[in-house]
Amino acid sequence: MINVLLQNLPLLLSGAAVTVQLWVLSLSISLVLGTLLGIAESTSSNTPWLVQQTLRIITRLLRAIPFYLQLLIMYFVVPLCTNMQLSAFAASVLALGICSSAYVSQIIRGGITAYDINLWEMSQLLGYTRLQALRYLVVPQVFRTNLLALSGEVDQLIKTTSVCSTIGVLETMGITRNIIAREMNPIAMYISAAVMFVVLSLAWSCVVTIIQRRITRA
């Protein structure tokens, strides 16, 4: 068992590296898009009613459709509609990022509406422009108060990357499945894959703890 593990460790690590790439890239899309969607969706943001409702329908759809189906749509249907070929990796990054942004948007939206006072009105009183209000008041406040909820979504995102192996992305689970098929040593390999995910999750927890400490200190 140990021999099989040692022999395949570089391959497993390469899978973990792909998982990290998928995670970091999709996280960038998720946070940026999710924040913008969340702000636009919140009732106090002065976004036109029609735009708000359209965005709510889109985020509702994204949350309702299973991620596996979204991945298949991104890989097979989107290239058909846009006449643009997407590699499995690119499709996975986009699908993960867009799917996760729907959840992030709800966290942000909830964070904004949770304030008793209207953050936008307050920023107006302080003489901020809308962009300044976003930069100095709304986004920092909402991220600060919803850090743990966001951290949970980011944790979920790491685990969701494993679905991408179904379209041929050789991330941790894809590589693990390949090694198992070759070596027929499933338990050891599944445990190794689990350890990889735990390590990634713990690393993320450390980052969140550091950010939390800094916020508390500030």
Q: Which residues bind other proteins (CB under 8 A)?
A: 7-8, 10-11, 14, 21, 25, 28-29, 31-32, 72, 75-76, 79-80, 84-90, 93-94, 97, 131, 135, 139-140, 165-170, 174-175, 177-184, 186-187, 210-211, 214-215, 218
Q: How far is the CB of 50 from other proteins (least distance, A)?
A: 26
List the structure tokens of 138: 């709304």
Comparing CB distances to other proteins, the nearer of 46 and 87 is 87
Report the alpha-carbon distance of residue 63 to residue 57 in Å, rounded: 10
Smallest separation (angstroms) from other proteins to the CB of 53: 26
The amino acid at 13? L
Is residue 123 helix, strand or coil? helix
The string of DSSP letters for 74-132 reads IIIIHHHHHT----HHHHHHHHHHHHHHHHHHHHHHHHHHT-SS-HHHHHHHTT--HHH
Q: Residue 93 Cβ, how far from other proteins at the closest point, in Å?
A: 6
Query: How far, in Å, CA of 177 to CA of 30, rounded?
Result: 28
Length of the chain: 218
Contact 155, 201 (CB under 8 A): yes
Of 37 and 94, nearer to other proteins (C-beta) is 94
CB of 210 to other proteins, least distance (A): 7
Q: How far is the CB of 160 from other proteins (least distance, A)?
A: 15
Residue closer to other proteins by CB (options 57, 148) is 148
Nearer to other proteins, 4 or 122 (CB): 4
